[in-house]
């Protein structure tokens, strides 16, 4: 009797388990499509051991240029691969076909698949980005109906050739920083310590605004033995929210950015930078830093991800623009006053770049010819405080980039922008030897390429310092308006150089091209103006140089202000920064 009761009990228990398993299968296979996302999420948590997925889009806000052209978020076709025990069962012919489509051997595919521990997007060998499929490959792969294999659309956040990579920056995992910035989001389960956040550039400065609301993922269901569940297709999970992800509209002109990068890369592999600003409002049209880097494989120690347009470098003779402005503003010298340059200034061991000297030369001619001796003599008459005040009036002693207080914190559009410098804290700044070196942009003097380009904009706008801006607005996904970042000035009308000084400097920069150190530009399509510079520096323990050219064009109706910086480029022959400036202007003139 006891045996019969035990047997009946076991039969009843088995029947109950069978009913529950059937009900679970019914929910998974038949009823899933009729559930809301909330209900589905609840079901998925109850069978989490049977589901695996890959993220196809982070749901993070995207960047666009001034004309709505995407700078990030290119849609591509990729292969999503889910490890499961059904993949090879009776599918030898299909595996052969798949291998042919992907251009790998069957053994290579088998080794790869068997080594997988979690779902992933397939990439060839050690590539840092997914392998991109053609439309024909997508069609052929999906016709195979191999378990755990699906060709799908994927969001490649940083499409090659990584345009404006230093400006846009990159994302990555940073547990300590995410704990500091987003404690409530972590507590609420909206973010985890593995959530990717902005690590540099606009990705970092705008991280709070463009963080993901919901990603897009592809899920694949298997049974308890890791076998594909027949009849349950791969399911795409995505938000139907019409407002997210956000759209960040920048001031960048994609065509200009692409061609500036092309021109710079054609001339140098050294550390270099170019900034192109709108001459009227200082909006950033292009911002290039080299060497470039792979945002999917960033080495923090190498530092090639650092944006050199925002770093302060020794400026050399482009700083003579500041010295000239200070001398004119304070009536220290008349433009027609004559100086004698014999190539050296003995008491300081100071020399001119032209060894034989320039002979008798006026101050305005000395600017065009970049005469070191003349500028050292002018600086002897000037106090360090007067020079610093003028530098400040021209934006040199402060960050130039757009910033303001937003949401109880200071929001800046440029990540880690440095400020300019004339004298370090321990320098005897009124020593005549120090002032002589300072007059030609050496010793302690530092400027960023952004400041140098904006110096030109300031001169063109009669001393009004515009704040360079690279983000003009943020919109919702449906293009409705969220927030604007209006153009701003950095200084007041009372604290700027005079219109007369600005006008003289513009005339003198024209003479640099007409009959000075920039005369190689005289045959360009546009009439151009500017100032060249070469600074002696130490690079990796060796003697090197910084080459610069800053200027504008066309002279008759200025549209663009450009700063070019190239470090350690000396190979003899033409000044490389001047040549790059000329080629950029020539392309813009087309």
Give percent helix, percent strand, percent coil of the chain, each to the nearest 5: 35, 20, 40
Predicted pLDDT at 36: 38
DSSP per-residue letters across 14-41: HHHHHHHHHHHHIIIIISGGGS-HHHHH
Residue with tokens 């000239």: 324
Per-residue CA distances from 276 to 282, 401, 450, 461, 582 (Å):
9, 14, 9, 16, 13
DSSP per-residue letters across 75-124: EEEEEEE---TTSSTT-HHHHHHHHHHHT--HHHHHHHHHH-SS-EE--S
What is the rounded CA–CA span in Å between residue 126 and residue 105? 16
Q: List the end-to-end C-alpha distance of the chain, in Å, as a whole number.
A: 101
Please name each of the domains of the chain with its CATH number.
76-156 (3.90.1310.10)
Predicted pLDDT at 426: 93
Q: How many CB atoms lie within 10 A of CB 296?
A: 17
Predicted pLDDT at 223: 58
Predicted pLDDT at 30: 38
Catalytic positions: 317
What is the rounded CA–CA span in Å between residue 84 and residue 49? 13
Predicted pLDDT at 26: 42
Which H or E element spans position 275?
A: strand 272-278
pLDDT in tens, the chain (590 residues): 455 655 555 555 455 445 444 444 443 433 333 333 434 343 333 333 344 688 999 999 999 999 999 999 999 999 999 888 888 989 999 999 999 999 999 999 999 999 988 889 999 877 778 999 999 999 999 999 998 899 999 999 999 999 999 999 999 999 999 999 999 999 998 899 999 999 999 999 999 989 988 888 888 766 555 555 554 556 777 778 889 999 999 999 999 999 999 999 999 999 999 999 999 999 999 999 999 999 999 998 899 999 999 999 999 999 999 999 999 999 999 999 999 999 998 777 899 999 999 999 999 999 999 999 999 999 999 999 999 999 999 999 999 998 876 666 677 899 999 999 999 999 999 999 999 999 999 999 999 999 999 999 999 999 999 999 999 999 999 999 999 999 999 988 778 999 999 999 999 999 999 999 999 999 999 999 999 999 999 988 899 999 999 999 999 999 999 999 999 876 667 799 999 999 999 999 99
Predicted pLDDT at 214: 85
- Cβ-Cβ contacts under 8 Å for 50 (sequence gap 6 or more): 28, 221, 222, 223, 224, 229
Contact 323, 312 (CB under 8 A): no
Q: Which residues pair with 152 in a beta bridge?
A: 78
Pick the closest to residue 580 from 286, 223, 142 (CA basis): 286
């Amino acid at each position: 009797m006891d045996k019969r009761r035990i047997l009946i009990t076991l039969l009843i228990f088995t029947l109950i388990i069978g009913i529950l398993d059937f009900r679970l299968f019914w929910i998974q296979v038949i009823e899933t499509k009729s559930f809301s996302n909330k209900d589905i999420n609840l079901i998925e948590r109850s069978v989490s051991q049977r589901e695996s997925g890959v993220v196809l889009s982070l749901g993070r806000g995207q960047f666009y240029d001034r004309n709505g052209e995407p700078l990030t978020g290119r849609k591509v076709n990729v292969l999503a691969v889910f490890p499961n025990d059904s993949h090879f069962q009776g599918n030898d012919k299909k595996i052969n076909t798949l291998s042919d489509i992907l251009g790998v051997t069957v053994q290579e595919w088998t080794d790869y698949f068997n080594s997988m521990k979690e779902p992933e997007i397939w990439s060839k060998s050690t590539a840092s980005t997914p392998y991109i499929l053609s439309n024909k490959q997508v069609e052929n792969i999906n016709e195979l109906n191999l378990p755990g294999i699906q060709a799908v659309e994927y969001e490649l956040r940083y499409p090659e050739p990584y345009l404006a990579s230093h400006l846009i920056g990159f994302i990555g995992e940073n547990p300590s920083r995410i704990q500091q910035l987003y404690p409530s989001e972590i507590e609420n389960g909206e973010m985890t310590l593995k959530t990717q956040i902005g690590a540099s550039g606009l990705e970092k400065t705008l991280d709070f605004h463009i963080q993901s609301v919901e990603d897009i993922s592809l899920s694949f269901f298997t049974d308890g033995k890791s076998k594909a569940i027949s009849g349950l297709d791969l399911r795409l999970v995505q938000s139907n929210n019409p407002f997210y992800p956000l759209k960040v509209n920048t001031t960048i002109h994609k065509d200009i950015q692409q061609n500036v990068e092309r021109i710079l890369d054609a001339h140098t592999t050294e550390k270099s930078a170019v900034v192109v600003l709108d001459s009227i409002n200082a909006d950033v049209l292009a911002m290039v830093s080299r060497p470039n880097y792979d945002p999917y494989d960033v080495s923090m120690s190498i530092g090639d991800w650092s944006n050199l347009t925002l770093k302060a470098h020794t400026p050399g003779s482009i700083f003579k623009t500041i010295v000239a402005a200070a001398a004119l503003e304070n009536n220290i010298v008349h433009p027609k006053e004559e100086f004698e340059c014999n190539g050296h200034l003995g008491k300081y061991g100071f020399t001119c770049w032209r060894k034989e000297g320039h002979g008798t030369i006026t101050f305005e001619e000395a600017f065009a010819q970049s005469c070191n001796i003349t500028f050292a003599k002018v600086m002897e008459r000037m106090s360090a405080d007067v020079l610093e005040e003028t530098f400040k009036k021209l934006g040199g002693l402060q960050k130039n980039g757009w910033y303001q207080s937003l949401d109880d914190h200071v929001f800046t559009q440029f990540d880690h922008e440095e400020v300019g410098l004339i004298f370090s804290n321990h320098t005897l700044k009124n020593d005549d030897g120090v002032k002589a070196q300072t007059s030609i942009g050496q010793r302690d003097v530092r400027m960023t390429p952004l400041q140098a380009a904006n110096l030109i904009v300031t001169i063109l706008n009669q001393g009004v310092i515009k704040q360079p801006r690279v983000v003009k607005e943020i919109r919702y996904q449906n293009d409705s308006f969220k927030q604007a970042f209006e153009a701003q000035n950095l200084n007041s009308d009372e604290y700027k150089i005079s219109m007369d000084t600005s006008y003289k400097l513009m005339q003198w920069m024209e003479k640099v091209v007409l009959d000075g150190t920039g005369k190689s530009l005289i045959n360009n399509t546009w009439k151009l103006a500017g100032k060249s510079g070469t600074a002696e520096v130490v690079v990796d323990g060796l003697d090197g140089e910084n080459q610069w050219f800053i200027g504008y064009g066309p002279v008759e109706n200025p549209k663009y202000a450009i700063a070019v910086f190239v470090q350690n480029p000396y190979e003899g022959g033409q000044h490389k920064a001047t040549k790059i400036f000329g080629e950029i202007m020539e392309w813009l003139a087309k």
